[in-house]
Structure formats: C-alpha cells, structure tokens
Structure 1
C-alpha cells in the first residue's frame, strides 16, 4: 500500500549533515511510507541525496516555509498572528495529501502541524525531544536558547493539545507533556543508529584509561570539570563536539598543561562514533539539562561504562536505574568517579548493567518498531 508522510521540522538539516548525525530511516521508521515530504520552517537547502538514507527507500521531497526575523517581528510567535503564515503549509498539504503529519518537537513546526490537523483533519503525531520548562528555568542555558524557548512557549500547549499522539524520548518530559495538555503521553526512546553499534567485549586496558565525551560544548554542557579532574588521574580524554565554549576549553587545557591528555574533535560522523565507541574505556558526560542524552543511549548499547554528573531540578528516571555512576558536578567529583573506574571489575559491572538495561529499553530494532507501529496505526485511521 502506498502511503505518504509529511514531516515538519524546525531543524536546519544542513547542520545535521555537517555534524554527521544522520540516522537510517529516522524520518521514516520501518519504511512504512513510500513517499516522504519534509517541510522545514526555515530557508535551509540541504543536500537531498545525502538525506535519502533518513527515509529509506521512500521518495523524498523537500519544502521550505521560511520563518526568520521578519515573522518574529510581526508575530512574536503568537498563535493567532501566525495563522496567515501557516496557511501556506495548509495549502501545500492539500496538494500532497499525506496520510500522517509528523513533528519532531512542538515549536513553530508543531504549530504548523496543529493548524493542518485542524483544517484538514489529518492524523497528527508529535515526539518531544526536550523539556522546555526545565530549559527556560536553567541558569546555565545561553541567551539565544533562552530567547528561543521564551518565544516558543506561546505555541507549545496548542500543539500538544491538538496532537493525536505525543511521545517523549525520555521520562522526565512526561510531566511537562501532561501539563501542556497532551492526551496520554508515553515514553518512546530515540532510535539509535541501527546496525552500527559495536559491542564492547574487553574491559581490560593497558597504559592510560581512555575517556570519551560526546556533546555540544556549550554552557549547560560544559566539560570543564572533567578536564580539571585530569590533573590528578592517569587518563586521556577525547572531546567530540563543538560550541561556544571551544576556545575557552582549549585555553584551559593549555593553562593546566594537559595538552597530552586532551584532544578535541569538533565533529564525527555518527556511523563512525557508534562503530568506535567500544574502543574507549569509559564514557564521561556532563549536562545541566533534565535530559537523558542520546549519547548515553549509544554508550550504554555498546556496553561502555558511564560516568555522569548528578543534576539539579527534575530527576532523570533513566539514571535512577543505576546504569551510570553519578557524581558531584565538580573536579573532585569527576576525579573520584574516574578513580572508581580504574578498577576493571567496576568497569565490567557498569558496562554489563548498562548494556542489559539498554537492550531491554532502547534496542534500535525495538525502538524503530514502536514508531513504525504508531505511524501505521495513525495512517490507517
């Protein structure tokens, strides 16, 4: 049966391509749809051929619904002022005739999806990938992000109240979804690069303990305390990621004379990351968000032991299952955590525990099937 899907996103796909974060069938789980249209609420012009893997064998069509500063100045993203702008998407949808509207997030893209649902009655599915209320309250979030989330508040509730189904990619989003009017939200974890993760089979190491940090290098995800901890332990750290703290961290490494212990890789294709993660001895993470990071999903799937900081604010349910060693967010906290994992038995215990829990809860095949089944159910209404 031929089915058509309309995906509406706020992301700039060119940036995702540049960072190497494309996942097979991410926008068409299970290959349920034969035609996939991606509507971007920006003026991005990504390479269609490179994006093809994200929809599997489906025919891919790209569209733009630019927003930008002009729309912001005219509307401040107030729903009743956005209607004329969204009408362009409604008219486009009439020609596409999709069986399902799918939104990743509930920002401007979610507003557009909700308007299409109201005007044309097409089933509408939203997955949430952040907890906006926690982000708004987080003092470590940079100014630009604060502005984005402040403006988005006007459309979030409208989107979730209108959606037929709402999923959350980790547990601490559930209360937010309920409070914003989502009907029976549920947890469905992100689909991690299927077929690319290599399992860790050997927990011994020779020489120096090899640590891996993967994530944006921004104020709320600043690995400074991890770097400072390296002054006192025999370990080497690889930082994969870029952001506003790059220069500051490079200067810190130089100041502490840790150049032989720290290397920075601004970006790495996700395929390569998943294939090589098992070569490290320990995954170290840092975040002040209430998220359960995608990078931790990847590390746990391969059986890499995980060290992470305890968080302020909303608890992270997944971390409460003891799949990671949680420490105080300080140089001494990370130092103690790294020293704990110098013991091979501790690395094995946490690695096996993480892999077992991950296989039960976010095994890529099962995670993809969950989304595929939801798509089939809604498209058949």
Structure 2
C-alpha cells in the first residue's frame, strides 16, 4: 500500500473518458490548450476513446499542455455491449493507475468511468455541460428512438454515474436540478473558460463583409439558427454562422429559399487558434439557443471576451448567470432578433456600452481563474484519497 501511495504522489496521472473521439474535436478545430490538463497539473493524461482508431497524439498534444498524452482506442462501446467490454476497460485503467478519473457525461462514457472508479477505488470527477432532462423532452418531440435510449439511461445509467462521482461540476446553473434529482452531491458551477487576452487583443479580418453579425455553434435544432437566418431579411448587414452539423443542408436551402445569399453565409469550421479573429471582426454576436438546455454556451463567453454586444434568448427564471445587465435578452423569434440587430447597429453609443459590459463580465471566465479552480479540485481529490489510503 505504501508503494502505491508513493508512486501516486511522485507522478500525477489523469484518466479521461471524453464524450467523443478526439479526432472529432480535431476536425471541428476545437483542440484547446491545456483543456484536459489545467495549470499543467498532471504529468500524464490517458484518454479512453470509444473508437477503433483515434487521432495521433502528436496532432493534439496542446490539449494536455506539458503532460505526456496517451490515447487508448478501445473500439465502439454502447448500451448493448457495455457489460461484455467492462472488465477490459477496468483492467486498462488499473494498468494506467491514475490519481483521478474524469468524465464529461453521465451516459456510456460516464458509466464506464464510474465502474472503474468504484472497482479500483479511484476518485471520479464528473463535469456536465448540458441539461439531460431537457434533452429528453426535446428528443421526445423530434427523435423518438433517441428518446427511448435516453429514458433507458435515465433509469439504469445516469443515477449510478451521478451517485458514484466524488465531485460534480456544471457549466450552467440550469443543470443543477438534474444533478440533485439523482445525487446528494451538490454540484459546483464551474463555467467554461476562455483566454480573455487572446480574444481581446486579436486582429480582425479585413475581407469579411460589414457590418458583421456572428453566430458560432453546432448546426442542430437546439441552436435554432433558422431564427437568425430569417431575422436578416430586413437587416442591412451580414450574418456569418460558424458551425457544422445535421442541419447544414437544410439551413443552406433556407438561405437560398429566402434569397439571402448576400446576407447570410455558413462556414463549417474554423481552427480554434484562429476563431478569435472572426469575433474581433464582428459588430454583434447572436445565438438563439434553447434556454431550457443552455444558459451561457462557450461561444457567448468567447464573444464577451472579444468585447462584442451579445444577443441571446431570455433565460429560464433564476438562470441568467448574471447577464441581466450585460446581454440583450430577446424573444426567441426572428422578429425580436431582427429588431435587436437593428437597434444595436443603429446606435454606436449602445454598441460601446454593451462592449464594455461584455469585457468586464468576461473576466469571470478567464482561463487562469477557471484553470486554477480545476487544479484545486484535482488536488483536493488526490489529497482526500491519499488520506483515506493512509487511514486504511
């Protein structure tokens, strides 16, 4: 037992169960420095990837900072074959011998992580980025097959994951009721993080059309990009949507149908290392997301860091994330968004006021502040585990 304690204290090792294969994040241009290793806290980071062959580690090294990165591609594991693959995953994690296991989902990835945590007595740090009960309601209306799967996980998967977690963080206050329904662990709000200096001090892109309204987000029903597209019909400006997803063709067809090709364009992806230039080139940032599921998505934080006026839907009561005096809250329809676009574009003083408020608010989400807290959480989990081992 003493040998294990010494080994764990001399080298810090993290094991991660990401929500998607890392190659998916790479293709979307979403590889962010130290995302999996705040403050370079760990010496090694091991990712368990549910795919036959994931990306080469060297292409995404910056996601773990200075740590050694190892990706373990274990093949597709789903609700049907999870049990037959579980022992192999547990043995793999046992061999890695991490100080902490981290998951970002209470679904299959979280279930595997929780089982490893329980079996190997390793602390589990669970981070949640969406409201799963609201996702279920949405799926019931739009995708009944997906809804049935989520009803299964609600009963047999999610409660186990949430109850197994030693620490739970959430990126929105709106997720808290979901956590408390399944667990006695009170979640800590740890918002998404952004490098404020990088976004504020960026150069703009001279070739982009002006005045530019920017929207960044996956092209899915939750993001409601149709509202933004329709809102441009009476606006003297250009809407640039950066994102890809299941609605790409449908949204492009809508643009053509409304004869808005000169006012609206969609760019599938931008490397994360260049995304700040697009924010810096815009006059307004807008996102018409479903406020039952999200309240302050990552692109909203990035836009504030760049000093952009923000237009987003009215939040669910009690879940404004302190944006009442920062953002313009809009009804989630094209007329309201259009009116707000016109109001801001026509008033330079208002643009300046909103820009200052955005910059001030963005400091709460600065990468140094959020990373410091993440590293503290990891340290607390390791110290607590080492204390328990010594007492045993």
TM-score, length-normalised on structure 1? 0.89
Q: State the Cα deviation string for residues 161-212 of structure 1 (Å, max 9, x = none).
A: 111110001111112111110512110012225753235899xxxx942100
| Aligned match for 2:24, one of 15, 22, 27 | 15
Aligned to 2:233, the other structure's residue is in SS state coil
CA distance in 2, matches of 1:67, 1:201: 42
Cα distance change on mapping 1:83 and 1:193 into 2, 3 Å:
farther
Q: Report whether the alignment pairs 1:364 with 2:367.
A: yes
Q: Report whether the alignment pairs 1:72 with 2:76.
A: no
CA distance in 2, matches of 1:322, 1:194: 20
C-alpha deviation, 1:314, in angstroms: 6.7
CA distance in 2, matches of 1:172, 1:323: 19
CA distance in 2, matches of 1:67, 1:314: 40
**Residue in 1 aligned with 2:332?**
329
Aligned to 2:270, the other structure's residue is in SS state coil
Q: Does the CA-based 8 Å contact 1:24-1:194 persist in structure 2?
A: no
Q: Does the CA-based 8 Å contact 1:215-1:241 persist in structure 2?
A: yes
| Aligned match for 2:348, one of 315, 334, 344 | 344
Cα distance change on mapping 1:159 and 1:55 into 2, 3 Å:
same
C-alpha deviation, 1:148, in angstroms: 5.1
Aligned to 2:61, the other structure's residue is in SS state helix
CA distance in 2, matches of 1:255, 1:60: 47
Name stretches of at least 5 consecutive residues in structure 1 with no aligned partner.
Answer: 75-81
**Residue in 1 aligned with 2:150?**
149
Name stretches of at least 5 consecutive residues in structure 2 with no aligned partner.
Answer: 1-9, 386-392
Matches within 5 A, 1:274-293: 274-288=276-290, 289-291=292-294, 292-293=296-297
| Aligned match for 1:183, one of 182, 185, 195 | 185
Aligned residues: 367
C-alpha deviation, 1:347, in angstroms: 1.5
**Residue in 2 aligned with 1:79?**
none
**Residue in 1 aligned with 2:137?**
137
Q: State the Cα deviation string for residues 78-115 of structure 1 (Å, max 9, x = none).
A: xxxx4442221211122111111111122111111211
Cα distance change on mapping 1:18 and 1:141 into 2, 3 Å:
farther
Q: State the Cα deviation string for residues 269-289 of structure 1 (Å, max 9, x = none).
A: 112112431210000111125
| Aligned match for 2:55, one of 22, 46, 60 | 46
Aligned to 1:102, the other structure's residue is in SS state strand
CA distance in 1, matches of 2:181, 2:50: 26
CA distance in 1, matches of 2:196, 2:57: 21
| Aligned match for 1:295, one of 290, 299, 302 | 299
CA distance in 2, matches of 1:344, 1:141: 41
**Residue in 2 aligned with 1:4?**
13
Q: Does the CA-based 8 Å contact 1:135-1:141 persist in structure 2?
A: no
**Residue in 1 aligned with 2:64?**
55
**Residue in 2 aligned with 1:113?**
113
**Residue in 1 aligned with 2:163?**
161
CA distance in 1, matches of 2:126, 2:221: 28
**Residue in 1 aligned with 2:380?**
377
**Residue in 2 aligned with 1:91?**
91
C-alpha deviation, 1:31, in angstroms: 0.7
C-alpha deviation, 1:319, in angstroms: 6.1
